[in-house]
Amino acid sequence: MVDFKETERANIIDLKGIGQSYDGGNNWIIKDLDFVIEDKPDQGQFVVIMGMSGSGKSTMLRYIAGLQDPTEGKVLVKNNPVGKDNRVSMVFQQYSSLPWLTVLENVALGLEFKGADKKEREDKARELIKLVGLEGHEDKFAQYPTLSGGQLQRVAIARSLLANPEILLMDEPFGALDVKTRLSMQDLLYDIWHQFHSTVIFVTHDIAEAVYLGDDIYILGKNPSKFSEHIDVDLPLQRSRETKRSPRYNDLVHHVEDTMMRMAAE
């Protein structure tokens, strides 16, 4: 099991003694789970969560986003229980934009909920829209097929960043995209992470993607789930397509794959 030791740094995410049961405690999906991510200002970090289907990966993100409460345990964001003042946005695999709103209106939505005036939220939304490569699409409705799948995920990323650039939760956000779009979105996300120094918590089943993007990979074991493995992705901080051709990258991909297969067989 992974031991999350206390350090001198403050914690940006802290899950303590988490348990999840849907039948009154007869069966537990998650039990006695701890998960700590330290706050690293002006640096951020990219944390990847992996595990078999049904191990609770998406459920953990829902706790942090305030979309679901665990059966037992505490969920803290910046040392406070999740509430309206520290709400964290989440990017889903399914397209989550509101199709009756424009791209600009979708991206500005978080600031609207916070009470920002129209000019402020639209000015800031336009900056994020430009950053994610959607300039010129501001007045289009955020729906398929008006926008492609990759463009709709760019809308979701921009909306989440504008609402809370410190923490970005992503639940298999590129799973429904074609290979070319998925690879370009990986590079976009990597560039955004370096610009904002966000704490990104990213769920994926794609091992190569996990190694390319992540600083740390945490793997959930079988139900009732706890974190069974932690893999330090000791690649250079600056990564590119060439990184994927390095011997160390390929060694890490094989190591994660072997770890996942071993855990599945246990």
Find the angle CA(114)-CA(167)-CA(237) to the nearest 5 degrees. Answer: 145
Model confidence over 113-169: pLDDT tens digits?
Answer: 777 888 999 999 999 999 999 999 999 999 988 999 899 999 999 999 988 889 999
At 256, which amino acid appears? V
- Report the alpha-carbon distance of residue 191 to residue 197 in Å, rounded: 10
Work out the number of other CB atoms within 10 angstroms of the CB of residue 16: 16
Give me 183's structure tokens: 């690879």
Banded pLDDT at 54 (limits 50, 70, 90): confident
Residue 266 has pLDDT above 90, yes or no: no
Residue 230 has pLDDT above 80, yes or no: yes
- Report the alpha-carbon distance of residue 80 to residue 82 in Å, rounded: 6
Banded pLDDT at 93 (limits 50, 70, 90): confident
- How confident is the model at residue 10, as a pLDDT? 84
To the nearest whole number, what is the mean pLDDT of the chain?
90
Banded pLDDT at 84 (limits 50, 70, 90): low
How many CA atoms lie within 13 Å of 18's alpha carbon, on the beta-carbon side? Answer: 29
